[in-house]
C-alpha cells in the first residue's frame, strides 16, 4: 500500500459526505497488498472482530523498543479492509516504541470514524489496535 497517513488524513478532510468517505475507505482497502492464503490462519486472526480480520507482524532488526514492525493484513469485509489499511498506515514501518506511544483512536476520532462506525465495527477497530500494541510489546521485550 502506497498511501501514507498524512495523505489519508488530507483526503478525508476533503470529503464532506460520509458516503464519499466510506467509498474512500473501501478504495484504501482495495489498495492493500494481498495477504497470502497461508496467512489467513487462526494464529493471525484478530479476535473480537465481527468480520474476519487477519494481521501479520514482521520485525525488522533485533528485539527491543527500537525494532521496526511491518504489518500486513486482510479482511473479508470491504469497509473493514479499509480500516485495516488505515491501521497499517498508522503503525506499519514504525518502531515498537513509536507504536506503543501512538494513540490510534485519536486519529480515528480526528477522521470522524469514531462517531460514524457501528459499535460492532468500533469494537473490531479496538481489537485490531490491541493486537498491534500486543505485537509491539512483544517485539520491544524480545
Q: Catalytic amino acids? A: 49
Residues 132-137: contacts with CB under 8 Å, at least 24 apart: 132/55, 132/57, 132/71, 132/87, 132/91, 132/99, 132/104, 133/99, 133/100, 135/55, 135/57, 135/69, 135/71, 136/69, 136/91, 136/96, 136/99, 136/100, 137/96, 137/100
Amino acid at each position: 500500500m502506497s498511501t501514507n497517513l498524512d495523505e489519508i488524513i488530507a483526503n478525508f478532510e476533503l470529503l464532506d459526505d460520509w458516503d464519499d468517505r466510506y467509498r474512500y475507505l473501501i478504495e484504501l482497502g482495495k489498495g492493500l497488498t494481498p495477504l497470502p492464503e497461508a496467512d489467513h490462519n487462526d494464529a493471525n486472526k484478530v479476535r473480537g472482530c465481527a468480520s474476519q480480520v487477519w494481521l501479520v507482524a514482521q520485525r525488522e532488526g533485533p528485539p527491543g523498543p527500537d525494532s521496526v514492525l511491518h504489518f500486513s493484513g486482510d479482511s473479508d469485509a470491504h469497509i473493514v479492509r479499509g480500516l485495516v489499511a488505515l491501521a497499517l498506515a498508522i503503525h506499519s514501518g514504525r518502531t515498537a516504541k513509536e507504536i506503543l506511544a501512538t494513540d490510534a483512536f485519536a486519529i480515528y476520532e480526528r477522521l470522524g470514524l469514531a462517531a460514524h462506525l457501528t459499535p460492532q465495527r468500533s469494537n473490531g477497530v479496538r481489537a485490531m489496535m490491541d493486537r498491534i500494541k500486543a505485537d509491539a510489546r512483544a517485539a520491544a521485550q524480545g
